[in-house]
Structure 1
């Protein structure tokens, strides 16, 4: 071990979305910065998460497009899917983005990048393969990994996770997916579009954190595509099959054996804390991650934890948001705190399902009957009709005074349409602001404006208003 440590202002452990954002921001603001990464720059999002999954979904969308284009008077032959070419497309997309997260770029920003495994040896000191780093502030951004559920026999068969599924160059004949969350459903949708038979096994209900009404519409659409969604099932065990893998499930009707060619496990994630020797720095942690306060400080006030390892919402945009909180706290000594009131998330199936703020169910639990539920369907929108994207709706929840509490969108481009609601909630806007917005015609964005405008419909067309109009008409 080196006798003389490297002294820096900020030491970041983990070069995923959270760590990269802190390192880039800190260095450009003039802080001496060390970034440590034991594996690939870009972390889960670039290499095994958001980027490859959206690239695969794009290929799937291209494959299924021929099925509905007949409605426009345009016909195509059924697609031929070259899985190797699809895989190249996925990795080409990763390669196109990778330079933004590369060692070379960050060294160009003034960051000292060290490849290796870090562990704490004191409250403000870590070591990487014999190199000691002493820092005023340390940021743990080691992310999370796919969790293997305790299912008997799972370890006796080969199975895929988000870390390996994008390396697969064989189109599954029948893909069994354990887990009906966003990852499981996106992969179900992608593989079905490419031609696989797909079965999703879920112990509870799919998308349990989303609005049940929106999840139900998505469930119907996926089932209409031929995806078998089995909810409320218990997997008793997994076992090898002559030409694949068998999952034995228990339902209300008894036991059933489902045979597939491939198995994908998408049943949650676990924080990456092993090997960090957090105890040496006085940092408390548990199964859900490192313990942090609202400022993302650990029990060692000189150390922050951000992103998935901090045990909160596991989204790339949350990781980037955390980075901003840490920069303000660590460099500017501002008491910035996390605020998830306007937190958005999206499931990128077709239709997409997007949420910001509270669902209707959460709003009722928090505010009782002091809420108003607004909605507008896609089929009442002219652009949706023109593009044959009429399945879906916008649902917003406000207080009776019009304060926006949350919004749910299920339908085409829901992930893009949710932005205006995120802004409104985060800035404390009244529903009046969206109702009075001038929306260009014809756009899907009009759906949000119409939903907001429906807040005033009962009063606008009430008997009292009609009496007022008749009274005013007497004066010419």
Structure 2
């Protein structure tokens, strides 16, 4: 006997989103299982706090004071307002709202069983379903560093509460250059703390083009963040009551260590291997990725009735990408499995200041895949609105084929996370760069960057006049 159309194993915002989507849009009978007292929304605090501090910094008459004087930043007020915003968002996805929609919300820890058919056991209940969706949360990757466990450390969910204490630690070492590490380094610096960001790669955000990451790194260093790249952390020691971090050939004294070395799926308790869900053999050898699932393009695990999305898959915890995956997985789980994921038009962003947003391929990826590509760049200093808001640091980079097809776009600058959606739509609809040239953006606004990109497309002859226009021009001459 089947009790549900889909059982969603949650513990993340995406799990609740998937439950609402399956019930409201797909009219399915849904159960959502969440671990008790699971914190679903703490990741929303970081970009909000950074945005708030950015606005405060712009409004303050003495910018330098805000940047270096911790007492001038009302951190308790910032966090209180941030928590209020998160609470309002939580209400939209609360268990009460889910229950009103007809979702059977179950609080508890459970696991898959094969007795005799596939079921999920929780709170002495056997949940039988046509399909199952893994939408669990994730947990921080803890690097294998000598002395780390003995000396202690913080992870992102814990550290924000530390900053609201009367006397927070003033010297911090942040290990890891993922988006959360970059955001926290900037927040700490604006809070007047001494920050060293240590990255084992040759640069921060190594998957992005070097010119792009250099802009972000320069912005961080201008605010006072010390960045050590290509520097692995080998040891942490406590010597005479002081904490020392051995990074490459340098010993750095610090008060506390914050780990931002990535996230890994929280799947160990689900008993997946017993029911035939396999983990990647290659990933098993890497401590940080040992729980990665083997998935096909339909987000289907090696058990045909179990699908996965979001943080359960791995990678950065990006809500918009996770929600996109949830929609694809639900369509396949509830109907016929024929939909495949296509990330080419799905944007993502890093909420630093300036912001970084990208959709599609980077220049490096495009040249590797296509060889002959054209790169269009326009800088924010040419935009009137950027001049007015004194936010001229930034660039819009678009990668296109010689026929004008858009392969990818990267924007660094104010409102990048908003502007990137124009290129996201263009890639999704297979528009060429000449369609961007047809926009008439409001003046003055940051959208003027699209008109600037169109001008550069004309200059490189990616956009050519039609045969009729050429004939009329010839006739007029």
Give the TM-score of the pair, scaled to structure 1. Answer: 0.89
What's the secondary structure of 1:163's corresponding residue? helix
Q: Is the 8 A contact 2:439 2:450 kept in 1?
A: no
Structure 1: distance between partners of 2:240 and 2:472: 78
Partner Cα distance (1:62, 1:347) in 2: 17
2:265 to 245, 262, 271: 271
For the aligned residue pairs, the C-alpha RMSD in angstroms reads 2.5
- Written as runs of structure 1 = structure 2, the 5 A alignment for 1:132-211 is 132-168=126-162, 169-170=164-165, 171-204=168-201, 205-211=203-209
Q: How does 1:114-133 map to 2 (within 5 A)?
A: 114-122=106-114, 124-133=118-127
Alpha-carbon distance in structure 2 between the residues aligned to 1:461 and 1:38: 55
2:389 and 2:56 map into 1 onto residues whose CA distance is 18
How many Å apart are 1:31 and its aligned residue? 1.6
Mapped pair 1:18 → 2:14: yes
User: What is aligned with 1:310?
Assistant: 313
Q: Deviations over 1:441-467 (max 9, x none)?
A: 1111110232133112144999xx9x9
Is the Cα–Cα contact under 8 Å of residues 13 and 118 in structure 1 kept in the other structure? no
2:88 matches 1:91: no
Displacement of 1:172 in angstroms is: 3.2
- 1:66–1:27 distance in 2 versus 1, CA, 3 Å: closer
Aligned twin of 1:7: 3
Distance 1:431 1:79, change over 3 A: farther
Distance 1:99 1:229, change over 3 A: same
Q: Which moved more, 1:134-143 or 1:312-321?
A: 312-321
Tell me by how many angstroms 1:243 deviates: 5.7
Give, in whole Å, the separation in 2 of the partners of 1:160 and 1:27: 38
Alpha carbons of 1:337 and 1:68: their partners in 2 closer, same or farther (altered >3 Å)? farther
Match of 2:405 among 392, 403, 415: 403
Which of 243, 246, 249 in structure 2 is aligned with 1:245? 243
| Structure 1, 270-279 or 59-68: larger mean CA deviation | 59-68
Residue 429 of structure 1: CA displacement?
A: 0.6
Counterparts in 2 of 1:423 and 1:379: CA distance versus 1, 3 Å? same
Aligned twin of 1:81 = 73
**Residue equivalent to 2:436:** 434
Shift of the 427–243 alpha-carbon distance from structure 1 to 2, 3 Å rule, reads farther
SS in 2 for 1:26: helix
Inter-CA distance 290–96: structure 2 relative to 1 (3 Å threshold)? same
Equivalent in the alignment of 1:65: 58
Note the residue ranges of structure 2 that are not aligned, 5 or more in a row. 281-289
Post-superposition offset of 1:36: 0.3
Contact 1:271/1:311 (8 A) holds in 2: yes
Counterpart in the other structure of 1:339 = 342
- In structure 1, how many angstroms separate the alpha carbons of the residues matched to 2:234 and 2:274? 40
Do residues 38 (structure 1) and 35 (structure 2) align? yes
Secondary structure of 2:453's counterpart equals helix
Instruction: Report the 3-state secondary structure (helix = DSSP H, G, I; strand = E; otherwise coil) of the residue aligned with 1:275.
Output: helix
Equivalenced residue count is 453
State whether residues 131 and 334 of structure 2, in contact with CA within 8 Å, keep that contact through their aligned partners in structure 1. no
CA drift at 1:157? 1.8
Distance 1:112 1:126 in 2: 14
Q: Distance in 2 between matches of 1:305 and 1:472?
A: 62
Gaps of at least 5 residues in structure 1 are 72-76
Task: Please say if 1:329 is aligned against 2:332.
Answer: yes
In the alignment, what sits opposite 2:213?
215
SS in 2 for 1:406: strand
| Larger deviation, residues 103-112 vs 333-342 | 333-342
Q: Is the 8 A contact 2:433 2:463 kept in 1?
A: no
Return the alpha-carbon distance in structure 2 between the equivalents of residues 237 and 267 of structure 1: 15
1:244–1:62 CA distance, 2 compared to 1 (3 A): farther
Matching residue within 379, 382, 397 for 2:381: 379
1:55 aligned residue: 48
Measured in 2, the distance between the counterparts of 1:314 and 1:458 equals: 38
Question: Partners in 2 of 1:21 and 1:91 — Cα distance?
Answer: 20
Distance 1:11 1:279 in 2: 18
Listed one character per residue, the Cα deviations across residues 327-375 of structure 1 (whole Å, up to 9, x for unaligned) are 221223251110011232211111111111001111111111x211101
Give the Cα–Cα distance (whole angstroms) in 1 for the partners of residues 428 and 134 of structure 2: 27
Q: Work out the CA distance in 2 between the residues paired with 1:455 and 1:62.
A: 34
Moved over 4 A (4+): 66-71, 241-244, 467-474
Change (3 A) 1:468 1:101: closer
Contact 1:57–1:186 (CA under 8 A) maintained in structure 2: yes
Deviation string, structure 1 residues 197-218 (Cα, Å, up to 9, x no partner): 1110011120111121011011
CA contact (8 A) 1:12 1:19 kept: yes
CA contact (8 A) 1:352 1:415 kept: yes
1:31-65 CA deviation, whole Å, 9 max, x = no partner? 2111000044672xx12x1x111222134224433
- Does the CA-based 8 Å contact 1:405-1:425 persist in structure 2? yes
